[in-house]
Amino acid sequence: MLDPKKVRLGICPIGWSNDDMWDLGDENTFQQCISEMKLAGFDGCEVGHKYPEDKTVLKHMLDVRNMTIASKWFSSFLVDKPYEEVEAEFIKELDYLSYVGATAINVSEQSGSIQGQLDTPVLDDKKRVLTDEEWDRFTTGLNKLGKLSMEKYGIRTCFHHHMGTVCQTVEETTRLMENTDPKYVFLCFDTGHFTFAGEDPVKMLEKFADRVGHVHLKNMRMPLVEKARAEHWSFLDAVRAGAFTVPGDPDGCVEFDAVFDLLDKAGYTGWIMVEAEQDPAKANPFEYAKMGREYITAHTGLGGEVVLKK
């Protein structure tokens, strides 16, 4: 059982409103989203595109629900842009996240990314592969960002391996981890993206459990992943079709008990987030959030009480 004093349970808003395809969940409001998150039993969430840009408004809306922000996605372009430009945008995000109580920022390198390209197959080796010189620029910049976020803000820089990006595979994730400073750069461990990439998320966690700073729990419907490969789908095609789902969905394939056990043995501290980018018209966000929370509670003890702040 994970220690609820050290590990908190949250959920991402992408099940209510998709950040890559805004038509998915356009009908769902920000207040509906965070209210249903709390009703489903979660203590925190990440930031989505419908969240208020005013950090004081956001903090108030979460405070009255006894919730907090865990982290936020950050698109870095360390390979293709001058470091100074990336750092300036990074600092803006850190100022926002520090105010709302976040403990992590999830960095994804978007130089050459195909994850948002609707017509580019995500499993056909179409993604960018970095040169040695580009890898050096990438990891050097990431170390600088991590040092800044940790020393000035106390926020973990957690790198998010992701389908369609320069860091998707075991080899790429390993190279990233081996060439960054463990004091400053952590792994945003995502069960779904490793599974989608054809990797074993449990083996990856065995390898990098001591570097994990943030966790995304996604389940995968493997028949749809296999169809995505066979029919040359883009990442967004796979999302629309329902390749992702939540822990506890019987259609999923991820071995979450092994994940929970490894995190517990590693003494993990931080957030565990349910994240499943589904079409809310097909997968009711509240029902799937509740399904995910109830499964995690049964298997870890986290999220056992639902208490609304009065």
Distance CA(103)–CA(169), nearest Å, equals: 26
**Structure tokens given for 111:** 């130089």
Q: What are phi and psi of 285, to 5 degrees?
A: -60, -45
**Closest by Cα among 1, 30, 66, 2 to 270:** 2
Return per-residue pLDDT of the chain as tens, 310 residues.
799 999 999 999 999 999 999 999 999 999 999 999 999 999 999 999 999 999 999 999 999 999 999 999 999 999 999 999 999 999 999 999 999 999 999 999 999 999 999 999 999 999 999 999 999 999 999 999 999 999 999 999 999 999 999 999 999 999 999 999 999 999 999 999 999 999 999 999 999 999 999 999 999 999 999 999 999 999 999 999 999 999 999 999 999 999 999 999 999 999 999 999 999 999 999 999 999 999 999 999 998 764 434 3
Distance CA(169)–CA(175), nearest Å, equals: 10
Write down the pTM of the prediction: 0.95
Domain ranges of the chain: 7-300
Domain 7-300 of CATH type 3.20.20.150? yes
